[in-house]
Amino acid sequence: MPTRLGGCGRFRDRKESGGAGNTPKGRGADPSGRGWTPSLKRSKPIIGIVGTIGAGKSAVAGLLAEIGAGVIDSDAAAHEVLQEEDVRRTLVQWWGPRVCPDGQTVDRSVVASIVFADPEPLRRLEGLLYPRIAARRDAQAARFDQDAAIRAIVLDAPKLIEAGLDGLCDAVLLVDADRDLRLKRLAASRGWTEGDLLARERRQISVDEKRAKADEVIINDADLSALRPVVRAALERILEAFHRGRPDQRRS
Residue 223's Cβ-count burial label (10 Å; 0-12, 13-18, 19+) is exposed
Bridge partners, 51 (sequence order): 175
CB 240: neighbour CB atoms within 10 A? 14
113-156 pLDDT tens trace: 999 888 899 999 999 999 999 999 999 999 999 999 999 999 99
Residue 246's pLDDT band (cuts 50, 70, 90): low
pLDDT at 248 over 60: no
Domains of the chain: 6-238 (3.40.50.300)
Cα 52–chain centre separation: 11
H helices, E strands: number in the chain: 10, 6
Q: How far apart are CA 209 and CA 199, in angstroms?
A: 18
Q: How far apart are CA 243 and CA 93, in angstroms?
A: 50
- What is this structure's pTM? 0.80
Q: How far apart are CA 3 and CA 27, in angstroms?
A: 33
Say what angle helices 119-146 and 85-95 make with each other, to 10 degrees. Answer: 170
Report pLDDT for 119: 86
Weakest-pLDDT range from 19-33, 71-85, 99-113, 149-163: 19-33
Bridge partners, 50 (sequence order): 174
The Cα-based distances of 172 to 12, 116, 157, 166, 213 in angstroms read: 11, 27, 12, 7, 7
Task: Using the CB atoms, write b or e for 5-38: b if 16+ within 10 Å.
Answer: bebebbbeebeebbbbbbebbebbebebeebbee
Strands (E), 53-170: 69-73, 152-156
